[in-house]
């Protein structure tokens, strides 16, 4: 993603902004342009809860190109407190199913020593 596109979408990286259907009251993350349940286009942005529960996870010991410095990477499906499920990176590697987690703002990656640094949401265990 080029830096200009990233900057324009920055609000979505600081908070968990999803969608809310005014017609059937469903909530979605990531944001949608039309409701996946009823098909309505009467959609609003909605900030999602920042806490949830790990329902499944995996640890990547060998990731994609450009992420070698961040291995191992723990990815989990987090069921937020509003029952919306989010795929997210977990800060800690000692996670287990049922752990309570909270959204945190962290560095995702950087493009070399002089390149753009990308930040966004991850989740961290609640002590």
DSSP track, 95-110? --TT-EEEEEEEEEEE
> Looking at residue 5, what is its pLDDT?
65
In angstroms, the CA 21 to CA 37 distance is: 9
> Token match 């830096």: residue?
3
Q: Where are the beta strands (DSSP E) in the chain?
A: 17-21, 27-28, 43-47, 51-60, 73-80, 85-90, 100-110, 117-125
3-state SS assignment for residue 49: coil
Closest alpha carbon to 19 in 7, 5, 30, 11? 30
Rounded CA-CA distance 47/77 in Å is 18
Question: What is the structure's pLDDT at 115?
Answer: 77
Q: What is the DSSP letter of 68?
A: G
Question: How confident is the model at residue 111, as a pLDDT?
Answer: 77
Can you give the pLDDT of all 127 residues of the chain as single tens digits?
566 665 566 665 668 999 999 999 999 999 999 999 999 999 999 999 999 999 999 999 987 777 777 789 899 999 999 999 999 999 998 999 999 999 999 877 777 777 777 788 999 999 7
Asked if residue 35 has a cis previous peptide bond (ω within 30° of 0), the answer is: no
């Amino acid at each position: 993603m080029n830096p200009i596109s990233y900057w324009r979408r920055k609000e979505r990286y600081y908070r968990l902004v999803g969608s809310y259907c005014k017609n059937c009251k469903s909530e979605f993350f990531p944001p949608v342009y039309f409701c996946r349940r009823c098909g309505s286009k009467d959609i609003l942005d909605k900030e999602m809860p920042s806490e949830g529960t790990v329902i499944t996870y995996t640890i990547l010991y060998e990731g994609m190109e450009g992420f070698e410095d961040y291995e191992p990477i723990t990815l989990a499906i987090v069921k937020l407190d509003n029952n919306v499920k989010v795929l997210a990176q977990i800060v800690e590697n000692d996670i287990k199913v049922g752990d309570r987690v909270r959204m945190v703002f962290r560095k995702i990656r950087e493009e070399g020593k002089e390149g753009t640094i990308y930040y966004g949401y991850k989740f961290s265990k609640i002590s």
